[in-house]
Amino acid sequence: MTSRAPLVTLLALGSAVVLGGIGSASATPRIVMMASTIGPIDAGIVAALEDAYFKRTGVVVRHAGAGTGAALEMAKSGSFDLVMVHARALEDRFVAGGFGVDRRDVMYNDFVILGPASDPARIRGERSAADALRKIAAAGAGFLTRGDNSGTHVKEVELWRAAGVAPGGAWYVKAERGAAGNAATTRDADARQAYVLMDRATYLTLKREISLQVLVERDPALLNYIAVIRVNPARLPRVNAEGARAFQDWLVSDEAQQIIKAFEVDRYGEPLFFPNSDDWRKRHGGAS
């Protein structure tokens, strides 16, 4: 993973964690604060983008990690300048409520359904995530949910709804540390040998230390879109509006999109994330 430089700080912020490199106080413009969903942090892409931006501009971007729902709530305090999130319904509500402006697509990856090699619900190779979930429910096979209104949890709820299933009972278990993010949830599911919905980047970064396998993938319903939204300075005037706009503009630039495209491909043999800015899609095609 890309290391933070020159110095890394670790500060408690409720249940979130703030990470960021610090440059010379006398030479560095005002810091940009970003509340980010945890998955891209755990995968390392957030730090990689922050490092590249620092090298390009000398501007420090610090981030706090939390599930999408919590990240958006944190941004309402005015302590953050923008958010990086992945739950469109929650994003639209944030903007409609006057807290956010100018949502922009940045990148995407996809979710997969992981499960034990024994696959008690017999879902391996299912093309439909909804069909797979129906089988899990019918079998009463153990399924672990983050259950925390994170982007991953919101996607899971959408899929259960599409399956026509209201999950519940002894087989449907809330992760003990779901709010700690997807890596913690994946490790928990592995320890329980339970099924779990997880983003592919998290799976790839943990693949060597877990025994869970990808059993269901490539359903278009599993696509995972990650966007950035600036906090509305008209609503929360303390924010660093200029810094947020500049960083957001850079994230959708060709330079940043190329970083996303190339990130950790050599290490894992496949991309963890795919570029998805409007301009990138116009030139190269891709998700929308």
The pLDDT tens digits of the residues spanning 165-193 come to 999 999 999 998 766 789 999 999 999 99
- Per residue in 206-226, pLDDT tens? 999 999 999 999 999 999 999
Interstrand relation of 100-115 and 213-216 (parallel, antiparallel or unpaired): antiparallel
Structural domain boundaries, residue 248 = 8-108+225-284
As a whole number of angstroms, the distance between CA 170 and CA 256 comes to 45
148: which DSSP letter? S
Q: Judge if 27 and 90 occupy the same domain.
A: yes
Give the mean model confidence (pLDDT) for residues 149-167: 96
- Dmax (CA) of the chain: 62
How high is the pLDDT of residue 178?
A: 60
Domain total of the chain: 2
pLDDT higher than 70, residue 7: no
Residue 8 confidence (pLDDT): 30
Residue 280 shares a structural domain with residue 154: no
pLDDT at residue 28 is higher than 60: no
pLDDT category of residue 58 using cuts at 50, 70 and 90: very high
Beta carbons of 51 and 21 less than 8 angstroms apart: yes
DSSP 269: S
Pull the structure tokens for residue 288.
């929308």
Asked if 101 and 15 sit in the same domain, the reply is yes
Distance CA 144, CA 189 (A): 6
Note whether 56 and 142 are same-domain residues. no
CB 186 within 8 A of CB 210: yes
Mean pLDDT calculated for residue range 136-144: 98
Q: Is residue 1 part of a domain?
A: no
Is residue 40 located within the same domain as residue 60? yes
pLDDT confidence of residue 117: 98
E strands in the chain: 8-13, 16-21, 32-36, 61-65, 82-85, 100-115, 143-145, 172-174, 195-199, 213-216, 223-231, 274-275
Domain co-membership, 43 together with 136: no
Contacts of 189 (CB under 8 A, 6+ apart): 114, 144, 175, 195, 196, 198, 212
Asked whether the predicted pLDDT for residue 125 surpasses 60, the reply is: yes
pTM (two decimals): 0.85
pLDDT > 90? residue 21: no
CATH of residue 171's domain is 3.40.190.10
Q: What is the mean pLDDT of residues 185-206?
A: 96
